[in-house]
Structure formats: C-alpha cells, structure tokens
Amino acid sequence: MVKYVGTPASGGLTLAKIKIVNRRIAGFKRVVLAPHREKALFDAAVILAKDEIKTLMENTTGEHSEILNFQVMMLDDNGLKNMIYQKIEEKLGAAHSVEVVMEEYCARIKSINDGYLSLRTADIRDALTRVTDILDGKNRERFKLTEPCVVVADEILPSDLAVIDRQYAMGFITAGGSYHDHANIIARTMGIPSVCGVDSEILNPLNDTRQVALDGYTGEIYIVPNEATVAMFRHRMKLEQRDSVLLAKIRDAKLTMANGEEIQIFANCNDPKDITLAINNGAQGIGLVRSEILFMSTVYDLSLASQIRFYSECIRAAKGKEITIRTFDIGADKPLERLQLEKEPNPALGMRGVRLMYTQKEIFETQIEALLVAADRCGEINVMLPMVTVESDVTGYFTMVEQVKERLLNEGTIARDRIRWGIMIETPAAALISEQLAKYVNFFSIGTNDLTQYVMAADRINTNAARYFDPQHPAVVKMVEMVAQSAAKYGIKVSVCGESAADFECAKLYIEKGVRCLSMAQNAMLPIKQHLMEEFEIN
C-alpha cells in the first residue's frame, strides 16, 4: 500500500480502479511546413476547436456553459493569435507554437496577480490543448470511460466534464490544479470526490488499473490499500449513505428557535433547472439567481423576450416560494464576449455591478422591463443590486426603475409592480451606511465573499493571501452584525448569500448576530440544517 496526500477539492469517499490519463504532448514526428501553411493549419484548427466547444455547450448550463463560452472567447482573442503567428514565423510549427505561447500566456496571467484571470489558466490550457490535439491528429474524446474508475491525470479540464459518463466517474485525482479551479467547482456540483495537488509520481503508468481508496474530505489517497484500509473505507461509505437517508428526513423540517424566530435555508442558483432541483431538495426559497448567466447561455439571450422567458421560468420553478434575482453582476473583472468593456488596472475596484448603469444604461433598462413584466405575469419576486457603495447607486437605479415602470403602466404592458427591491451588502462602505440604505429597500443580502475580500484586503482566489481571507475575522463579523442591526431597526429582512453561509461555524456566528436567512449551494443545505438543529436544540 502506498499513501499520497493532496488538497481536498470535492468531498466524498470511493473505492475503485485507477484510470491514468496522461495527455502531455511530446511533440515527436511533427513535420513543420512553410509559415504560411502552418498559419493556415492553425486557423483551421481553431475553427474546428470552436465548433467542438460549441457542441459541448449545447448539453451544458450554468457555470459550466460559461466556462466553455470563455474558451471560445480565448480562441477569438487577437492578442493570443498574434503571439502564436509570431512563433510560427520563427518556424516553430503551428502545434509547438501553440504550446510555447500557452505556457508564456498562462505565466504572464499569473504574474499580474489578477485573481479572476488566474483562475482561468486551466480554461486557457483546455482550449489551446484542444487546438494542438487537432493539429496533431489526436482524439479529443479524452475521457471516454467504460467502467467505474478513479481518473488520475495531470489536470481535469472543464471540457472533460462536459462529456464524461457520470455513472463511471468515481473520483478525480490530479497532480496540478487547486480547490478553486472550475473543474473542481463542477466536480463538487456533480458530487464527485476530488483531490488535487498530488505528487506527480502518482501518474506512473504502473498504477493504471490498480485499486485506490480516495478520501475527498481529507485528501488522503491509498494505492493498493490493505484489507484494513478497504474495510475502513467501506464502513465509512455505509455511514455516509446512512447519513444521506437521515438528512432526507429533515428536508421539510422548520428551524424554529426557542424564541419563536425561524431560520430559513435558501439556495443559490443559476437557472430554472437549478431552482427546480433546489426546491425539490428542500430549499425554503431561492436567495440568489445569478442573472448574468444570460450573457453566457446558449438557451437564452439578452433580448427582451428571452429575458422575460428566463425570469418567468425561474419564478415558476420556485413554485410560489420566495425568489431573489440579482441584477447583472458584470464588469471588467468578468470578461464577457457579448459586452465589450474597457480593461482596467484593478477590475475588482472598478466599474462592475450596479456601477455599470451609468455606462450601459440600455442593458439595465431592458433587464428592468423584463423583470417587471415577468413579475406581473408570474408572481412576486425580490430583485437586488450588487456592488452598492453609495446612496446614489440606489437612488440612481430606482429613478431608472420608476421611469421604466411608468412607461409600462401607461402602455398597459403591466398592471402592477410586483417586485420587492433590495441590495447586496458586499462592500465595507455599504455595511457602514447600511442604516441609511435601509430606508430605500425591502431587504439586505450580505455577500460575504466580496465583503470579506474588501474588509481584509485579501483577494479570495489568491492562495498566497488565503490566511487573510477569513470570513470569521472579528472585523467581518462586526460588519455582518452592523447590517443585521440596521435591518432590524427598519424592519427589513437580512440574509447571507456568500459561500460562508455553507460553513457551519460561520452560519452559527451569523445567526448569533441576528441573521435569520442563509442562502447557499444546494448540496450544503441539509448538512447545515442538521448542524443548526443540533446547535440551537431545535426539534
């Protein structure tokens, strides 16, 4: 038995055979033609790669679809193409030029310390590796599984997960990657155990078909486990199955504290399918629908009719339960193909969220109209504004709302306004003036991801600053308490919709500070519910 330890990336336990997938290109037997011919081959490979990615997008939704859309954007990037053309002119050949530029480009991105783009290096590698595979005549069906196994690879790419047969994927082990990689985010959504950052020695071909015991909670990996280890894993897996059955029993239980106050557990979602699944899994409401998915979707678009359809389907999927839609949370920190925004030196502190209403007014007016029409036709909704920092963000946006609403009422397009308006508290400024902001809205939703980032001056996806990104830090908790007090004073609802809501210690802290609604990824709802029932002695 050989033991490895990596970084836990997706919880779960599994016992299965190993399947080694090593896609590193050696570059042998490549014939280099004249530069103009190599450029033509490269251009053709890019076209084919984009077509393949778009085909994958037809069967994906939500964040997975956005990842693939980003890959298409990168293959259209003129700066990247020009770098590759330059290498081809140096007679490196198209395939090798792509490999060289891929390494240079990814290294450059990491060196500028842009958190959002640093996350995208795996996506860039995924797209460019597809191009080199086409140039080399390699099969792009890279993860065709025919039996239950744990995939061991240098890296799991987002496009791999678009075609993988879930019934055979028992787990993932990677030598590279990190917890925040998009592939691992998707693995967590799919419920597949995953461990990353493992010694590359594990890619030894001799490990192929050997049995492995994988612990996605601790990052422990056992190759050819002994009988005692196998017995321990099987016992823990039975306990895990039993816990799942027990959790299902509290699905519809209400969390009512001794003083009569109820704690609500909501879900964060991307689209109607997510919402349906969350409601079926016991969500008492939907605390966050990310409307910016419309910029990446292959099912919907930004037209008025399509937006009305999207919001209407979301409302119906909630089945009469409370649902909150966030207005477009977009900006230079989130590059989007359909919205050309000027690059900024520090996009996290630039034009994003509600701030874009000043430069992208038409987009926001169309969204407001679609929300008003969908609510009028299908039922009441909550709508909240992201990235608020000053009162004029709120008053300016609501002035636009009133103008759109008045026009729709005069036209007879809507009969009433069925929207409750709120704001996200995700900047220290908004938290500090929350008492003033409470006068304008029906509810607050605390986005602890960004709030922690800004309070602690720590990029949440910068691993070197991870020790400072602490949602339990007294400064962050004090902000949450301040917001809860402001909400209580004006009798408005306050919830937390950041990732920390799914952390039991954080959830307990928030409730102690006055928060009564927690919104989280749906797979965390029942475990958090159980912990809270035990902590506050709720029957």
Q: What are the pLDDT digits (tens) for 399-411?
A: 999 999 999 999 9
Residue 356: predicted pLDDT: 87
Q: For every residue of 194-209, which 3-state class applies, written as one string?
A: EEECCCHHHHCHHHCC
149-153 and 169-174 strand pairing:
parallel
| Tens of pLDDT, residues 249-308 | 788 888 888 888 999 999 998 888 889 988 988 999 999 998 987 876 667 888 999 999
The predicted structure's pLDDT at residue 404: 97
Residue 141: other Cβ atoms inside 10 A:
8
pLDDT for 31 equals 76
pLDDT of residue 426 exceeding 90: yes
**Predicted local confidence at residue 57, as pLDDT:** 78
Q: What is the pLDDT of residue 159?
A: 67
Amino acid in the structure at residue 536: F
**What mean pLDDT comes out for the span 454-470?**
82
Residue 342's pLDDT is 66
Predicted confidence at residue 27, as pLDDT, reads 45
The predicted structure's pLDDT at residue 51: 86
**Structural domains of the chain, with CATH:** 2-23+142-232 (3.50.30.10), 35-135 (1.10.274.10), 252-535 (3.20.20.60)
pLDDT at 509 exceeding the cut of 90? yes
Phi, psi of 330, rounded to the nearest 5 degrees: -125, 170
Are 443 and 452 in contact, with CB atoms under 8 Å apart? no
Confidence grade of residue 74 (pLDDT, cut at 50, 70, 90): confident
pLDDT of residue 24: 56
At residue 73 the predicted structure's pLDDT band, cuts being 50, 70 and 90, is confident
Q: Which residue has the higher pLDDT, 472 or 162?
A: 472
What are 381's strand-pairing partners?
Answer: 419
State both tokens at 106.
């990814």
Residue 25 clears pLDDT 60, i.e. is over it = no
Residue 451, exposed/middle/buried by CB under 10 A (0-12, 13-18, 19+)?
buried
Crossing angle of helices 62-75 and 182-190, rounded to 10°: 160
Task: Give mean pLDDT, residues 186-214.
Answer: 87
Tell me the mean pLDDT in the region 467-482: 94
User: Of 23-27, 135-139, 210-214, 222-226, where does mean pLDDT reach its minimum?
Assistant: 23-27
DSSP label at 318?
A: T
pLDDT of residue 97: 87
